[in-house]
Structure formats: C-alpha cells, structure tokens
Structure 1
Amino acid sequence: MFREPLKLQLRILQITMALFALVLLSLTWKLWTPQTLFPQVPLFSRVSELPPAVDWLSFAIMVLTLISLFVLSVASLLKKKPEDESAPRFQMLCGCLFLLSFLLEVVFDQHRLQPWAYQFALGLLILTVLKPPRAIPLFRLFVLSIYFYSALSKCDASFVQTLGRQLAEGLFSAVGISTTYWSPQTLSWIAASFPIGEFLIAFGLFFRRTRQVALWAAVGMHLTLMLAIGPLGLNHYKGVLIWNVYFIFQDLILFHTWFQNQTSVEPVGRQAEEQLSPPTYSGLERAVQTLIWIALLAPLLEPTGYFDHWPSWGLYASHHDRVVLLIDEEAKWDLPPDLQPFVDSPRPLSRWCRVRVERWSLADLGAPLYPQARFQLGVAIAVGKAVEQDSPGDASQPRIRLLYESAADRWSGERKIREYNGLSQIEALSQEFLLNATPRPFPMK
C-alpha cells in the first residue's frame, strides 16, 4: 500500500506517543491526582488556595485526549483513502488541550514536570497542529535537541565521578562482569564516553548520509541503558525502561529509510503546485512553531539557573543544586510508619538521620523526585512541619536540619554547602527562589 510518507510517519508517531503516554500515566496516576502520600509544591504560592477538583479535571482531560488521539489516528491509518484524516480539527483540539491540562497539572505540583510528560505534551502539539511537511522536520529537530542537551548536561566532573560511574557499574553488572576491583579512573573513562556517544548520535541523525548508522547507534544506546538501569543492573523504576522503549520506536519511525522509500500518492500536478506556492501559516501554527523554538533554545539558560534541569534534558546528570534533609534520631519515630523505612540510621557519633525523599517518591508515587532544589526544599518544609507540629521542642535543639548544596563546579565537581537548622531557618531559605518553594497543606498521617 502506497501512502504519503510524511503523513504515514505522523499517524504512526501519534499512535505510538499516545499509547506510551497512556501507559506511563497509568503507572504514575497517583502523581497526577490530589494525593496526600507525598508533599506537593505548586509553581506559584496562591495556587494552594484552589480546590483539588481542578487536579482531577486536568488529569481526566489528559487521559481523554490521549484516548481520542489514539482512536482517531488508528482510524485514519485504516482508511482506504490515505489522504483522508479523521476529525483533523478535533485532533488539533486534543493536542492543545493535552498541553494546557499538563501545564495546569504542573502549576499545582512541580513534581509533575516529568521529562517524558513534557516531551509528549510538546510532541503531540507538533503532530496535531502542524501539517506533515512542517511537523516531521520540526519533530526530528526536537528529538535531536533532547540527545544534544542530554549529552551536554553530562559534560562535567560530577557526572563522571558519580552517576556516570554508577551507570557503568550497572551495565557491566547486567552482563555478569564484576567491577569490584576496577580503579575509579577506569570507571571514569567509561563514564566520559557516554556523553560523547550521545553527541555523535545527535550529529549523525542530523545529516542524511550518516543517519542510518546513527539510528542503529541510538537503538543500541537505549538498549544498553535499559541493561544498565534494568532489573539486572541498577534496578531503577520501570517508567524509565518504558520511556527508553518508546525512544526506540520513535527513532525508527522518524529516521528509518523505509519511510523515505515510500512513494507519495499525491498527484504530480498537486506536488508541483505546492512547491511553487509560498507556504501559508495560520495564527495557531505560528504560535506552535514559536513555542517549540522557545523550548528548543531555553535549555541554554539552564546553567544560569533560569530554566529547570529536566526541561533542559538534564537526564542522569547530577550537577544541579540540591538539598539533603536530616532529622533528629528521636524525631524519626514521630514520622508515620510508612515513611520511617526511608530514613537512614545516623552515622557514628551523630544524632542526625538522612531522609531519602527520592526513594519515598518512587515508592509512593512511582515517579522519580523532581531534581530542583526549590522543589526539594518544599518537601523538606512539609516534613519539618510534621515533625515540629506536635513536639516543637527546644529552639536550641532543632529536630530538623537541611544542607543546601550548590550546583557542582563543572571541572572539579565541588559544591558549596550551607547548613540550616530548625524549621524557621529552612522556611526563610524559600525566599531566595524566584518560583514557589512552599508546599501545599500536607497532613502527614
């Protein structure tokens, strides 16, 4: 069956993206609802006054729009006339509504700015609003930017010294090779090769002559990463594995020669007419293209602190600022029993226990912790209020402590650490951030 290749790519991409988005939403549904399992930190402080029903409404819109896009895309693919599209205006509306409802969810809780959801929201907007000759090239550029910025975020000492080594250890452990007696320098050199590979893939996919080699290199990279973080390796949460599977399908649809070798069903006269006539853009198409270009360039601001780490595609990078939450050993027993397993034992000659909020997030919400220090500070404030609410104790003996670690130096990996004792000092730190760092009311039971 001969189909217009760009339109075929667009339809299959929509089906794939809607399907994987539904799967990931189902795995992390607690994150998107007004839950009380984990603190929620709105993007703006006044949002806390709005009713939780808005969360349910926006989540329902996200699910319904994805189902609609999946059904309509399948229906378009099965039509006898390949040029016919099922309810194109309704698909456009679904793409816009999914983005708007996703943004509303993020406004209520910054934790929901998961990188896969951010990618799907922008990707579906491209595929539903723009016509195939404009949508596919822009979508390709969007994917290349993810590889490029992901590689760029790993070009620092902190990745080579920490997460890069962990990925290398997880990879070799998955294939049955022990790294116990390997030197740190050897693991560091292996870790340094990861961003180099991503850079080569990004540039290779950009040029037509090297595209197929880079495509299979990208597939191999995702399979390798799945080994490293899968059950045989670091055993990370399943959502990351599913997202990597999506990337494999996405890259094959976007860059494989099979789609370029398809013959267009458009009449020759119509093709010539479209090539000679100047391109016309509607107001919505111009707005979408402008938004996507902003998303493509905004990650350049990440080193300045004016754009967040995950929307900048800082995936498995560790140079961002962060906080470490500590509580008094006696205060540990005032926490709910469900939270106590995520509190470490104190170090020798110390009474302070570290609260592993990243493990708490994975266990209760099925989603990794949002990496910004602003959000992590909000989580620490919510825990601190719960700890000091019933037993405020002596002001000279605070029951909660926070270590604020600045972004790591690119060349040395060193951080500047500031210490804050007691809830009053920790809450005062929230004034240093441009966006909100105060949590919604959190009744920790």
Structure 2
Amino acid sequence: MSRLPHFSFDSATSRLQVLGRIVPLFVLLLTCLTWPLWWGDRSFPLIPLLPGLGSCPLWIDRGLVLLLIPALLGISLVPEHSPIRNKLFLIAPSLILLLVILNQHRIQTWSYQYGLMLLLIGCRSPSNKSPVSSEGLSPERIILLFRFLIASIYIYSALSKLDMHFISGGGFFLSKSMLDLLGIDYRFWSETKLSYFTCLLPMFELLVGFGLLFRRTRTFALTGSLLLHLALLSILGPLGLNHSNGVLAWNACFIVQNLILFRFTRRSQPEVSTSSETDSVSMSTSVGGKKRFAAYSLFGLAILLPLLEPWGFCDHWLGWAVYTSRQERFLLLMEETDQQPFPEELLPHLSPPEPLTSARRLNLNSWSLQTCHVPVYPQTRFQWGLWLDLHRRYPQLKMQAILERPLDRLSTDRQTETFSSNEQIEALHAHFMLNSVPRFLPE
C-alpha cells in the first residue's frame, strides 16, 4: 500500500514516471499493429527519406526492429534511474529515426509524437532531489513541455481543417458520421446547414487545444478531449468507417496519455516550476547543460515546424494535418495492355473505369492499408515513388498521373495537371527536396 502514492499523479515526478513506463508500451503496441510497415515487406515499396540508400538490404530494417523491441521493453521494465534505462530513452528514438530514414512511410504521427516524448524524458535530470539541475530538465519542466506539445497537436490539427474545402464538403464524412453517432437525422439538411455543423468540429478541437494550455480551463478541455477521442473511436471503428487498427489504437492511447498529463488530484500540488525555480533554471541556462539545450531545441523545433506545413516545407503528418483534404494529391491511373495485364495484387485496389475510358484509378491508400496496415503517406514525393516502383516492375503497363494542386483556405476548386507519359511523370522528380526513389529489393 505504501507504493500507491507513487502512481497517484500528485506530483510531476509521479506523472513522468508513469509516462516513462507507458509511452514505450504505446510504441510497442502500435508497432505490432502495423508490423508489416516496420518489418519490411516486398509487397509494398520501401522509399528512403534520404538519397543513396536504394540498395540497402532488408535485413538492416529487421535488425533495427529486433533491437527496438527489447529497448522499448527495457524502458518499461528496468528499475527507475538505472543508467541502462536512461540510455535506452535515447537509443529507442534513435532506432525509430534510422527505420524512418530507411523508409519514410514509417513517419507515422504516433511514431513522431512518442519518439519526441521519449527523447524529452531522456533529457531529464539524473536525480529528482532538486527540481533544478544544470545537467537536465526537472520532471515539472518536462511535464510542462509535454502539455504544450499535446495542446499544439490539437491546435495545428484544427487549423489544418479550417478551410472552405473541408467545411463545404471535404469534411462531410466526419460530420455525417458524428450526426449518426448522436442519432440526428440529417437527410433533409441543406448543404449550408451541414457545412455549419462541419465547421464546429475543428472549432471544438481548437478550443480543446487552447483550453489545455491554461489551468482554469484544463478540466473542461480534458473532458472535451476525451469526448473527442471517444467519438473518433466510434466513427473510425469497426461499426463506422472501419479504419486501420493503428489509428484506433493511437486515439485510445491519447485518452490514457491525457488522463495522466492533465487530470487534477484532490491534493493539488504545483505541477510546474514556481517562479523561483524558473529563475534558477534561467540562471543555470547560462552555465550550460547539453541535455537541457537539446531538449529545448527539440521542443522548439516540434512546436514551430508545423507553421511551415501550409507552404510545403513540412510534411503534412509532421505538421499534424490529419483528416484534412486540401493537400496536394497524386492520382495514379492504369491501363492494361496485351503485353501486361493488371497485376493480381493490385486488382482489389483498382476502381472501375470512368465512362468511355479504360483507365482505372489505383487506390494507393487501400493498397497501403492492406499490405502495411497504415494509410499511405500523403506526400506527393512518396506517392511518386510508388509510381516509379510499379513502372520498374511492370514497364509494359500504361500509366498516367493526375496532380491535384493544394488548395488555399478560401478555395474549393482544385487546379489539376495530367501527365500522360512516363517521361512527363518522371520529370516531377526534380521538384522534390527529399528522396523519392524506392529501394531495390532483389527477390
């Protein structure tokens, strides 16, 4: 019974200790649910994040995964303040980063978020005796950074949906599912009325994000966040849109994580550094401390990077632009020839041809969900790499691409550009800042 206060969340230290145990379990759970993505499968192209890695063999990926699993288990099971455990907080995210470099499809929102959280925990002070240390961050400060990080996810996610395309049609799939969940008959609603309701969804998410930043509104915002994720679980679950297990698990993990981070206790104690502690931290900053500098730099990058997403300098998922519809889209159309019929593995993901045409659209998202158990990575460079892999494997297959340009916030009509030859599609490669060429994996 004497151990119970250790998990009572009455202090930032106890909250951080629980998060330090449970976050690696989140990563382990989500890795298992999306296992083909991490283990590597020749049925779906592997596209490195950086150039020069096209000939890396598959056993490197699998070796890194086999190292990641015991690292995550070690963080959860090794005693607190063990030197080995402290190193594992840095080793596990490093392994995730290497796996991402080998295949950018692994840039999942959850792998990015939890990798950041593990790194920040790894930058904590080696001892909890003093709230301020020149060697790292105090538990109070790390919990504060976590709260800002989680709040920013809601804020950026909401802002990515506040555009005319989402409100006037692109987000109707979410609003209609929400109305079904509430038992409201919307069949006779006008599009204008449905648009008003759709607008409420990102506004509610935005209020949750800002509410989590302030102590007076945190309880209401926490309740709102729980309702939001429970609603998403119902909408995206087996009885709704039947989304991937990874997306559902990430929403469930958010519920647990938010309860640990934001729930108040009866014995209210200071959760962040007092003003004197803040002054001490500011004074000790001039002394140095590599851990503290690394933590603040990492946190600042994570908070500011999403600001660049609308201009294309940050990937959509790294900017928390999820369930949005104004991004650039790469559509791939295919026609079979006498020399090359449609590949059998792609047939379930080909839509029926449009009237008076024989071309069929390849649903890249469906293909990714079936083979990797995750949605397709939304960046055009990645989806261009999928085209290149198919072109290499099936050179006789006739393909064309349609590039739908991104929308500004007040527009609903997309500008499209059609590339009807392989040479035209290949020319798009010059516009990508990061690698888009898939790895070559011999059979």
1:47 aligns with 2:53: yes
Kindly indicate whether the alpha-carbon contact (under 8 Å) linking 2:336 and 2:342 is maintained by their aligned counterparts in 1: no
1:437 aligns with 2:436: yes
- 1:232-290 deviation per Cα after TM superposition (whole angstroms, max 9, x unaligned): 221111211111111111111111112863699xxxxxxx9998685466212311221
Equivalent position amino acid for 1:44 in 2? L
Identity %: 36
1:379-390 matched pairs, under 5 angstroms: 379-388=386-395
Write the distance in 1 (CA, Å) between the matches of 2:401 and 2:313: 23
SS in 2 for 1:257: coil
Kindly indicate whether the alpha-carbon contact (under 8 Å) linking 1:327 and 1:352 is maintained by their aligned counterparts in 2: yes
1:131-280 matched pairs, under 5 angstroms: 131-174=138-181, 177=184, 179-258=186-265, 261=268, 278-279=283-284
Measured after TM superposition, the shift of residue 52 of structure 1 is 2.5
Equivalent position amino acid for 1:217 in 2? G
Write the distance in 2 (CA, Å) between the matches of 1:422 and 1:157: 33
- 1:299-331 deviation per Cα after TM superposition (whole angstroms, max 9, x unaligned): 101111111100000011121112000001547
1:68 paired residue among 74, 78, 84: 74
- Deviates most, 353-362 or 180-189: 180-189
Q: 1:107 to 1:273 in 2, by over 3 A?
A: closer
Q: 1:40 to 1:181 in 2, by over 3 A?
A: farther
Residue in structure 1 matched with residue 26 of structure 2 by the alignment: 20
SS in 2 for 1:324: strand
- 1:138-161 deviation per Cα after TM superposition (whole angstroms, max 9, x unaligned): 111111111111111111122223
SS in 2 for 1:306: coil
Measured after TM superposition, the shift of residue 44 of structure 1 is 2.0
Residue in structure 1 matched with residue 406 of structure 2 by the alignment: 407
| Structure 2: runs of 5 or more not aligned | 125-137
Kindly indicate whether the alpha-carbon contact (under 8 Å) linking 2:328 and 2:380 is maintained by their aligned counterparts in 1: yes
SS in 2 for 1:48: coil
Residue in structure 2 matched with residue 318 of structure 1 by the alignment: 325
Q: 1:383 to 1:258 in 2, by over 3 A?
A: same
Equivalent position amino acid for 2:417 in 1? R
Q: 1:225 to 1:260 in 2, by over 3 A?
A: farther
Per the normalisation by structure 2, the TM-score is 0.88
Please report the RMSD computed on the Cα atoms of aligned residues, expressed in angstroms: 2.5
Write the distance in 2 (CA, Å) between the matches of 1:371 and 1:332: 32
Write the distance in 1 (CA, Å) between the matches of 2:408 and 2:298: 31
1:119 aligns with 2:113: yes
1:352 paired residue among 347, 353, 359: 359
Write the distance in 2 (CA, Å) between the matches of 1:319 and 1:332: 38
Residue in structure 1 matched with residue 98 of structure 2 by the alignment: 104
Equivalent position amino acid for 2:435 in 1? N
1:340 paired residue among 344, 347, 356: 347
Measured after TM superposition, the shift of residue 208 of structure 1 is 0.8
Equivalent position amino acid for 1:39 in 2? P
Write the distance in 2 (CA, Å) between the matches of 1:262 and 1:137: 14
Write the distance in 1 (CA, Å) between the matches of 2:187 and 2:35: 39
| Structure 1: runs of 5 or more not aligned | 76-84, 265-271, 393-398
Measured after TM superposition, the shift of residue 364 of structure 1 is 0.9
Measured after TM superposition, the shift of residue 53 of structure 1 is 2.5
Write the distance in 1 (CA, Å) between the matches of 2:278 and 2:228: 39
